[in-house]
A and B are shown apart, each in its own frame.
Chain A
Amino acid sequence: MKRLALCLALAALPASAEGERVLSIGGSVTEIVYALGEDHRLVARDTTSVWPPAALALPDVGYMRALAPEGVLSVAPDLIIAEDGSGPPETLDVLRAAQVEYVTVPDGFDRPAVRAKIEAVADALGVPERGARLADRVDAELAAAAEIETPGPKRVLFILSTQDGRITAAGTDTAADGIITLAGAENALTGFEGYKPVSAEAIGAAAPDVILMMDRREGHAVSDADLFAMPAIAATPAAQGENVVRIDGLLLLGFGPRTPEAVTRLNAALYGERS
């Protein structure tokens, strides 16, 4: 840290202290920075950082996996906090050469992962105590939200897209799988990892009780009627009961401070409001 500060001083940068100008890469990282109350240090964000709405006022340096080195340097960050998988590697090499501190935040789709993310961001910002408090609070909320009595877990099919009648759905090891599990349900598709196009028959065989989708803006979303009319879906219990749940994508899949809210909302949508 001392050497870095020295270098920065020698380079005669306008920054007065280390980590004063923070660039946040990744929707959940940005949410955590705001939740920690450190948003006054943010100078820019990436395209996936769309919550809270105040973040939209910050300059956008591009998509987290396709960052351009000069674009990133143009906002003169001292500290970059980035979700795992940000890049490309060539850009990160240049940023290292420019002596910008770069912290990678681990990704994951369960309760411990949310805690680890919050703590990693708080450590990078130099506010570990506040991070521990936020992590404790979110973890407690998650524990409460996940304490659900269910008559038997519902089978949920997460559909990422229905482009041209081809359904791309979530398998295991995805954020969708993680949130479904936390909400006390089970992923109807477990035969593969990641988000994959799946056949109509596989969906029929999976027999989901509920379909879960990201909430898109008007005009981009497939209507309920069109959805349930798709041959793949028409025969499922979900179509017969017309059970579809739509939740904002970043809230649902972000695995950040709002995840307890996502769990509660999904759980309520699946099993009805609990008193």
Chain B
Amino acid sequence: MAAWSFTAVWASPGGDRQHRARAVFAGLVAVTVLVGLASLNVGATDTPALGTLLALLSGEVVELRARIVLLDIRLPRLAMGLLVGAALAVSGAVMQGLFRNPLADPGLVGVGAGASLGAISAIVLAGLLPAWAIGWTGSYTVALAAFAGGWATTLLLYRVSTRHGRTSVAVMLLAGIALAALAGAASGVLVYMADDAQLRSLTFWGLGSLAGATWAKVLAAAPLILITIFAAPFLARGLNALALGEATAGHLGIPVQRVKRAAILLVAGATGAAVAVSGGIGFIGIVVPHLLRLLIGPDHRFLLPCAALLGGTLLVAADMVSRTVVAPAELPIGIVTALLGGPVFLYILLRSRGVLDM
């Protein structure tokens, strides 16, 4: 467990880490911009993004479909990719810091399972809902239910693991596993009840996709995700100190309880929103923080902002692959993230065994 712990890696030779982190951050900003522009330019239709954008801005008449491809398909998709990727990566980094466990990801505290249960309920039980409820939530019923499910699980977990104002991370970890199992079982019951068409919707929801990106979804998910991205670095000092153990962190003057509570709430918000709009996209939350720790070390002050950029960029890049390789059809993005990221991750792990073997 101490493999990447604060002191171990920080003390390892590697030159001026702070300087390096700044360079990596600047590099990531550039890469994000480039990948973003590239993703606007590629797709099943040959719509040149910049030309169309310039024409739109200068008020020229642009063909309806080109306008829709750029403004209603690719732009919201880019925004959602950046947001969801950032949300997953930052949440993963925060969770790994909080639990001092490199395997931790938002799934561990039941957000993922709870959100899935919410979504599955909405898909399977939609027929039981009153018509006004469906009409009111429109095509966002599934997203709203996923979000509610994620939050409900997290709040329940927090209640279970908090006693006399103290949250036990160990209890939270175990209760998270129990709640995830329960949510999984409840989902199983619903899957059994589902009819043929619902089952197919469930399968595709589970694989995750950015294909359903709309401005409404982006706007719905953005506030919670942006709050988390910008608020998480304020927890960096606390998370760094937690790596030394809770007691030590407390002695260092860190309000440990507040850090834990804030971390859980931020992760639940961001992950709930991300899962709600994009379904289950795995891999990013675990891999991105690891890659960055190998690059810039474990200091959360740099890790969290870099995770936001790299997570978003990776997801947008994966999405580009998912919508071009089998065009005009699309691959589910979860397949792409795993196919592309898995081998790269393994390669980097093997190359950096010197650091990890300590």
| Chain B: number of interface residues, binned into ranges | 20 to 34
| CB proximity of B90 to chain A, nearest CB, Å | 26
Residue numbers in B under 8 Å from A195 (CB-CB):
196, 199
Measured CB to CB, the nearest residue on chain B to A10 is: B64
Contact with A along B35-77 (1 / 0, CB 8 A): 0000000011100000000000000000111001100111000
B139 and A62 form a contact (CB under 8 A): no
Measured CB to CB, the nearest residue on chain A to B62 is: A11
Residue numbers in A under 8 Å from B194 (CB-CB):
194
A74 and B64 form a contact (CB under 8 A): no
Contact with B along A91-111 (1 / 0, CB 8 A): 101100111000000000000
Q: B212: CB under 8 A from chain A? A: yes
Residue numbers in B under 8 Å from A85 (CB-CB):
197
B69 and A73 form a contact (CB under 8 A): yes
B329 and A62 form a contact (CB under 8 A): yes
With A44-B328, A70-B323, A85-B197 in contact, do A91 and B63 touch (Cβ < 8 Å)?
no
Partner of B197, one of A12, A65, A99: A65
A98 and B212 form a contact (CB under 8 A): no
A68 and B196 form a contact (CB under 8 A): no
With A174-B196, A193-B195, A196-B192 in contact, do A74 and B329 touch (Cβ < 8 Å)?
no
Q: A248: CB under 8 A from chain B? A: no
Q: B330: CB under 8 A from chain A? A: yes
With A70-B43, A70-B73 in contact, do A194 and B195 touch (Cβ < 8 Å)?
yes
Partner of A11, one of B44, B64, B69: B64
| CB proximity of B69 to chain A, nearest CB, Å | 6
* Docked complex Cα distance between A235 and B95 (Å): 53
Q: A63: CB under 8 A from chain B? A: yes
Q: B209: CB under 8 A from chain A? A: yes
* Docked complex Cα distance between A121 and B26 (Å): 56
Residue numbers in B under 8 Å from A90 (CB-CB):
139, 211-214, 217
| CB proximity of B206 to chain A, nearest CB, Å | 12
Q: B230: CB under 8 A from chain A? A: no
A65 and B204 form a contact (CB under 8 A): yes
Measured CB to CB, the nearest residue on chain B to A99 is: B64
Partner of B330, one of A12, A68, A94, A98: A68
Residue numbers in B under 8 Å from A69 (CB-CB):
72-73, 211
B-contacting residues, A33-74, CB 8 Å: 44, 47, 59-63, 65-66, 68-74
Q: B200: CB under 8 A from chain A? A: yes
Q: B201: CB under 8 A from chain A? A: yes
* Docked complex Cα distance between A63 and B326 (Å): 12
Residue numbers in A under 8 Å from B139 (CB-CB):
89-90, 93
Measured CB to CB, the nearest residue on chain A to B200 is: A65
A74 and B328 form a contact (CB under 8 A): yes
Closest 10 CB pairs of A and B: A62-B329, A74-B44, A71-B328, A194-B195, A90-B212, A74-B45, A68-B330, A89-B139, A11-B64, A71-B44
* A–B pairs, 23, beta carbons within 8 Å: A11-B63, A11-B64, A11-B65, A13-B63, A44-B328, A62-B326, A62-B330, A65-B201, A68-B323, A68-B328, A68-B329, A69-B211, A70-B44, A70-B328, A71-B327, A71-B328, A72-B328, A73-B68, A73-B69, A74-B45, A88-B204, A90-B212, A90-B214
**Which residues from chain A sit less than 8 Å from chain B, CB to CB?**
7, 11-13, 44, 47, 59-63, 65-66, 68-76, 85, 88-91, 93-94, 97-99, 174, 193-197
